[in-house]
Amino acid sequence: MQIWFVITQKGGAGKTTVVTNLAVCAAEQNKKVLIGDLDPQETTVKWWQSREEDKGIQAVKVPQNVDQVKKVLDVAKLKGFDLLIFDTVGQDTRLHNAIIELATLCIVPCQPSLPDIRAVKSTIGMLEKKDVPFVFLITRCPPVGHEFEKTKQGLSAHGLVCPTPTIERKAYKNAYALGLGVSEYDPKDKAVLEMNHIFQWITKAESKLTNREVIR
């Protein structure tokens, strides 16, 4: 079973958008997906509750407790889920430090701004100390400009950066409001191609990093 933690110790990076759309991408490939929502605001659980059909996706609120996280993981394995994604809290917590070793991969979203790049350093330090496989995903990029390349250059010194960012598009917000992924909301929107590329790249990166190989 794949176990992904979408984690950054700064709010506003679009973690829930990443989690929900990766879940939909996986479900569309006939994977059985469970989302563990560690955020007290329950944004991912609320998204799931507003879905008319689960379509292979379930979500559960997870108390901020190590034993509860492990319990969800055990239940996911028992019930045959293929992918467990944890939506974490956007702040520095001891819980993150205690649970990230359970991950097969950590996904670190980062907005293309200097404050966000600086803030992500504490997350990087924690992941490197625990020797947990991780990748960066640059999120909420403006549709024009060179912010993505600049941010990618700054992050690439610390680890792998997904070559496809998420662009700030209305489709992401509209899809969330309806309990959908972007592919379900509007199959023709450019956001769909973005998320498909991101999901495929992350899946490949996880396989390579787990085997401690080099990915290009």
Residue 216 inside a domain? The answer is no
Residue 215 inside a domain? The answer is no
Render pLDDT for 132-179 as a digit per residue (tens, 0 to 9): 999 999 999 998 888 899 899 989 999 999 999 999 999 999 999 999
Residue (of 188, 199, 192) closest to 167 by Cα position: 192
The per-residue DSSP string of 108-163 comes to EEE-SSHHHHHHHHHHHHHHHHHT--EEEEE-SB-SSSSHHHHHHHHHTTTSEE-S
Under 8 Å between Cβ of 216 and 206 = no
Residue 167 is classified by DSSP as B
Is the pLDDT confidence value at 215 over 70? no
Residue 168 inside a domain? The answer is yes
Is the pLDDT confidence value at 216 over 50? no
CATH number, domain of 44, equals: 3.40.50.300
Render pLDDT for 75-118 as a digit per residue (tens, 0 to 9): 999 999 999 999 998 765 677 888 889 999 999 999 998 888 88
What pLDDT score does 89 carry?
A: 82
Residue 197 inside a domain? The answer is yes
Looking from the CA of 69 toward its CB, the CA atoms found within 13 Å total 22
Is the pLDDT confidence value at 68 over 70? yes
Total structural domains within the chain: 1
User: What's the predicted TM-score (pTM) here?
Assistant: 0.93
Looking from the CA of 190 toward its CB, the CA atoms found within 13 Å total 8
The dihedral through the CA atoms of 135, 171, 140, 51 has a sign that is: negative
What pLDDT score does 91 carry?
A: 63
CB neighbourhood size of 130 (10 A): 16
Render pLDDT for 20-55 as a digit per residue (tens, 0 to 9): 999 999 999 999 999 999 998 999 999 999 998 888
Mean pLDDT along residues 184-196: 97
What pLDDT score does 11 carry?
A: 73
Phi and psi, residue 129, nearest 5°: -65, -40
What pLDDT score does 52 carry?
A: 87
Amino acid in the structure at residue 176:
Y
Is the pLDDT confidence value at 187 over 80? yes
Residue 99 inside a domain? The answer is yes
Mean pLDDT along residues 185-189: 97
What is the span of the domain harbouring residue 188?
Answer: 2-210
Q: Which residues contact 208 (CB under 8 A, 6 or more apart)?
A: 214, 215
Specify the DSSP element, H or E, that contains 48. helix 43-49
Residue 57 inside a domain? The answer is yes
Residues in the chain: 216
